[in-house]
Structure 1
Amino acid sequence: MSERLVVIGGDAAGMSAASQARRLKAPGELEIVAFERGSFTSFSACGIPYWVGGEVSERAELIARTPEEHRARGIDLRTRTEVLEIDPARRRVRSRDLASGAEDWTAYDKLVIATGARPLRPPLPGIDAPGVHGVQTLGDGQALLDRLAATEGRRAVVIGAGYIGVEMAEALLRRGYEVTVVNRGEQPMSTLDPDMGRLVHDAMSGMGITMVNDAEVTKILTGADGAVRAVATQDAEYPADVVVLGLGVRPETELARAAGLPLGEHGGLLTDLSMRVRGPVADGAIWAGGDCVEVLDLISGQQRHIALGTHANKHGQVIGSNVGDGYATFPGVVGTAVSKVCDLEIARTGLREKDARAVGLRYETVTIESTSRAGYYPGAAPMTVKMLAERRTGRLLGTQIVGREGAAKRVDVAAVALTARMTVEQMTALDLGYAPPFSPVWDPVLVAARKAVAAVRRTGG
């Protein structure tokens, strides 16, 4: 007798899980029903800023697999259908067809929760005014593009200066807008230490973006037509013809909470190494992955919520293998992420200083200036590398890089070193590729490692 797998969520984690399970089990062995409340599936939310900015010309380029393609592979995918309730005791979910309003219960033998994350949208006066946009879905991206095409004014305010905030600042700048970024933090990119965030601030200011830090937005001001006209803080008003929200996200876990499933301190679902949801309520029949779960930080040992498509796709592969009676695990992350704003590249992996302090680690920090290529080779671009190493042991704890072309992906060397629990001294012996067009003789990451070795030794490491 065949089993039924039900998947809630039709993007990276959910459809990766469904697709992998289908590879392992034929329709006669495993029926797969997937619910997606939107119209699109398997799309790249990370690509939306580049679509808005014009670097990606068509929306279709951001879609890896359409609903029709999933259905052709034997997945009963129901778009524009929202799941309203999970009933673990009876192993069923209640859904509503958003077009007709009809509701129905669907039984499952195995359930995958891949509900993603919801963008933060604070309850400020005017937050729902025309001209205020989030950029979470392809529909959001299209609505913003439509607004930009219909707006005569050329002033944009981005609220928030994390990954989405800085990427949207670039997109709007490329569209010819005067861009102001309002950020409540000390510096942009709070995923970096403030000294490295300052480099981002200075570079963005140099691009013509007005950076406003330590500023809390109090309300969105509207004109006589009801549309946005300015963003207000306690100290100033910033004129705006369009406003983009880049305040981050939170796990979308209200369904799971209502069903009594276990959530962590960040609001994400808690799973084991196989991505199976923990606890007796799940009864061994529920898995979860993507932006709705918390993951283990391999450096600090703490649970974290990190909304990244890389993790979501890996979670989906692991889940699909396990629900398809294969075997796979997801051991955790080291917190690697890269971004850019115009020609500035931004990268980080591992712990920031405040992360290390929070878990009681004692550490040394070093910062070095280097270039992407041999200094004499044309096109050599500057970069700054900051490295954290544990006192006494010399274990690498984290790396941050800010620079121009060729800077960001160097963080992958540090990510591998973190995963392997290497010391900074061990890193100095890494046999990295060298030729003048690609690197100085000593790669910038290894220069930082050498300096970190010296710092650890000075403290008796």
Structure 2
Amino acid sequence: MSIERLVVIGGDAAGMSAASRARRLKGPEELEIVAFERGHFTSYSACGIPYWVGGDVAGRDDLVARTPEEHRARGIDLRLRTEVTEIDVAGRRVRARAVDSGAQSWTSYDKLVVATGARPIRPDLPGADAAGVHGVQTLDDGQALIDTLSRARGRRAVVVGAGYIGVEMAEALINRGYEVTVVNRGSEPMSTLDPDMGRLVHRAMEGMGISMVNDAEVTEVCTTRDGRVRAVRTADAEYPADVVVLGIGVRPETALAQAAGLPVGGHGGLLTDLAMRVRGHEEIWAGGDCVEVFDLVSGQERHIALGTHANKHGQVIGANVAGGYATFPGVVGTAVSKVCDLEIARTGLREKDAHRAGLRFETVTVESTSRAGYYPGASPMTVKMLAERRTGRLLGVQIVGREGAGKRVDVAAVALTAGMTVERMTSLDLGYAPPFSPVWDPVLVAARKATAKVHGSGRE
């Protein structure tokens, strides 16, 4: 019996989850596994980088789930500092280049996994590549930022962008004693929320000492004579900076795949079927931040860069590569974050998502508390809920509050996945005790209010 070869491009969550799962199901006598990673690290938590930078996580190694040596000990031929530069689909081979020496070679495959991740958006602006300007996507990026912070001449930081990475990096820099300004081209921070909920985040960030500049487009990164960053300029002002962090977002890293003729969607991510197989290519799979995923609520494809999805993709791919059968049905778009003690959560659709999908809907917003109001430590939270008009189907939930707010979104995520109506949600048998919740959990209070509004709209 001949031995098949699996080649994996990318050594983080999706790629190494796929390789590890395939290895558990098939031994080296049946399947040879070769994995290429252009960086220094494998299987690490990119989501944890802001907390490492901010000092909540003690060191870089704490973010590594499995080292290269551990992967090799399990029978995976892992080649670090090696970048795949070409995929020859017809010839079933990849060309790889050693990053340090420049040496190139071809490696054939029977099965291929593309897990190239995403890249930080770096604006095409004067000075964007100056010393002291950092994107944060990999452990190497995080180390470079920490090195800059340790030798910076001053304590002024500008974060460009106010999405998840932007607000998390603002917190990290505040924790390191920096004066932080966040420059955001949107009307409010956290464009993953509706503007009314983003406004709550805005107020809280300013209360923490973070300067928020909204509706501002960066036009230039100003530099010193020796090429270091000194300020960020917009059309209306200039903001001094000893370090700049780009938190604008990420795009799927699919240039390699596109050059090979693999199909991509409207968001730039690779298109796959339910088994995570690249559409039209029987022996090629893709997963992680380089793919588009199916939104179970809107019925549309979207790009979401999250480690939770990437690890699930890898498990599905590994099972299928090894001859089994597994599927990834889609997502509802759940995400949580925090800035200092403010917790931010969302799942499902925002108002503009629902409009884009052609849905008619109602919205409600409620104020409640994390615990029974009389119990010590009860803190306020705001819950916004979207429900489809007439049917009452839950479409989305956003939550902003203090301790105990963020993970409440999981109830809504389950309800969305199950296709529940807001009326059905009001009967959910959730856990109750005064230290954990009011008698009516805030999510259920919102569901009750949404039910009343939907019923009212149904009588119009």
Q: TM-score, normalised by structure 1?
A: 0.99
Distance 1:223 1:86 in 2: 42
Aligned ranges 1:98-137 → 2 under 5 Å:
98-137=99-138
Identify the range of structure 1 (341-350 vs 129-138) with the bigger mean alpha-carbon deviation.
129-138
Ranges of 4+ aligned residues in structure 1 off by more than 4 Å: none
2:423 counterpart residue number: 425
1:59-458 correspondence to structure 2 within 5 Å: 59-279=60-280, 282=281, 284-458=282-456
Structure 1 residue 380 displacement after superposition: 0.2
Alpha-carbon distance in 2 for matches of 1:142, 1:102: 26
2:6 maps to: 5
Q: Which moved more, 1:224-233 or 1:50-59?
A: 224-233
Q: Give unmatched runs, 5+ long, in structure 1.
A: none
Cα offset, 1:330, TM superposition? 0.1
AA aligned to 1:67 is: P
Q: Which amino acid aligns with 2:409?
A: V
2:458 match: secondary structure: coil
Question: What is the rounded CA distance, in whole Å, between the counterparts of 1:136 and 1:272 in structure 2?
Answer: 27
Within-5 A mapping of 1:5-24 = 5-24=6-25
Task: Write the distance in 2 (CA, Å) between the matches of 1:212 and 1:12.
Answer: 34
Unmatched 5+ stretches in structure 2? none
SS at match of 1:453: helix
- SS of alignment partner, residue 6 of structure 2: strand
Q: Secondary structure at the match of 2:256?
A: helix
Name the SS for the 1:313 alignment partner. helix
Amino acid at match of 1:272: D
Q: Distance in 2 between matches of 1:187 and 1:439?
A: 29
Per-residue CA deviations over 1:161-194 (Å, capped at 9, x if unaligned) read 0000000000000000000000000100000000
> How many residues are paired up?
458
Post-superposition Cα deviations, 1:429-452, rounded to whole Å, max 9, x if no partner, equal 000000000000000000000000
What one-letter code is carried by the residue in structure 2 that aligns with 1:14? G
Cα distance, 1:78 vs. partner?
0.2
How far off is 1:151 after superposition? 1.2
Deviation at 1:102, TM superposition (A): 1.2
Cα distance, 1:225 vs structure 2: 2.4
| SS of equivalent to 2:149 | helix
Measured in 1, the distance between the counterparts of 2:369 and 2:153 equals 42
Q: CA deviation at 1:288?
A: 0.1
Q: Which range is displaced more, 375-384 or 140-149?
A: 140-149
Give the superposition deviation at 1:99. 2.0
> How far is the alpha carbon of 1:335 from its aligned partner?
0.2
Q: Which residue number in structure 2 is paired with residue 25 of structure 1?
A: 26
Counterpart residue type for residue 154 of structure 1: R
**Structure 1 residue 123, shift from structure 2 partner:** 1.2
In structure 1, how many angstroms separate the alpha carbons of the residues matched to 2:331 and 2:363? 22
Give, in whole Å, the separation in 2 of the partners of 1:370 and 1:200.
17
Aligned partners of 2:401 and 2:14: how far apart in 1?
A: 32
Q: Which residue of 2 aligns with 1:37?
A: 38
Report the 3-state secondary structure (helix = DSSP H, G, I; strand = E; otherwise coil) of the residue aligned with 1:315: helix
Q: Secondary structure at the match of 1:417?
A: helix
Amino acid at match of 1:24: L
| Distance in structure 1 (CA, Å) of the matches to 2:359 and 2:454 | 14
- SS for the counterpart of 2:415 is helix
Q: Which amino acid aligns with 1:228?
A: V
Alpha-carbon offset, residue 101 of structure 1: 1.3
- How far apart, CA to CA, are the structure 2 residues paired with 1:229 and 1:108? 49
Match of 1:292, SS state, is coil
User: For each residue in 1:261-285, what CA deviation from the matched residue of structure 2 results, as whole angstroms up to 9, or x when unmatched?
Assistant: 1100001000000000002xx2x01
How many angstroms apart in 2 are the aligned matches of 1:249 and 1:292?
10
Rounded Cα–Cα distance in structure 1 between residues aligned with 2:155 and 2:97: 41
What SS class does the counterpart of residue 410 from structure 1 fall into?
A: helix
Alpha-carbon displacement from aligned partner over 1:353-388 (angstroms, at most 9, x marks no partner)? 000001110000000000000000000010000000
1:152 Cα deviation (Å)?
2.8
Distance in 2 (alpha carbons) for counterparts of 1:13 and 1:113: 9
**1 CA distance for matches of 2:457 and 2:205?**
37
Q: Which amino acid aligns with 2:54?
A: G
Q: SS at the partner of 1:459?
A: helix
Letter of the aligned partner of 2:424 in structure 1? Answer: Q
CA distance in 2: counterparts of 1:189 and 1:278, whole angstroms: 33
Post-superposition Cα deviations, 1:214-249, rounded to whole Å, max 9, x if no partner, equal 000000001222211100000000000100000100
Q: Which residue identity lines up with residue 431 of structure 1 in the other structure? A: D
Q: Secondary structure of 1:43's match?
A: coil
Q: 2:266 aligns to what SS in structure 1?
A: coil
Q: 1:114 Cα deviation (Å)?
A: 0.1
Cα deviation, residue 128, structure 1 = 0.8
Amino acid at match of 1:150: R
| Inter-partner Cα distance in structure 2 for 1:90 and 1:119 | 32
Question: How far 1:122 moved relative to its partner?
Answer: 1.1
Q: Please state whether the residue corresponding to 1:57 is helix, strand or coil.
A: coil
Instruction: Give the AA of the match of 1:366.
Output: V
Q: CA deviation at 1:137?
A: 0.8
The amino acid of 2:241's aligned partner reads A
Q: Could you list the per-position Cα deviations for residues 391-414 of structure 1 after superposition, in whole angstroms to 9, with x for gaps in the alignment?
A: 110000000000000000000000
State the SS of the aligned residue for 1:334.
coil
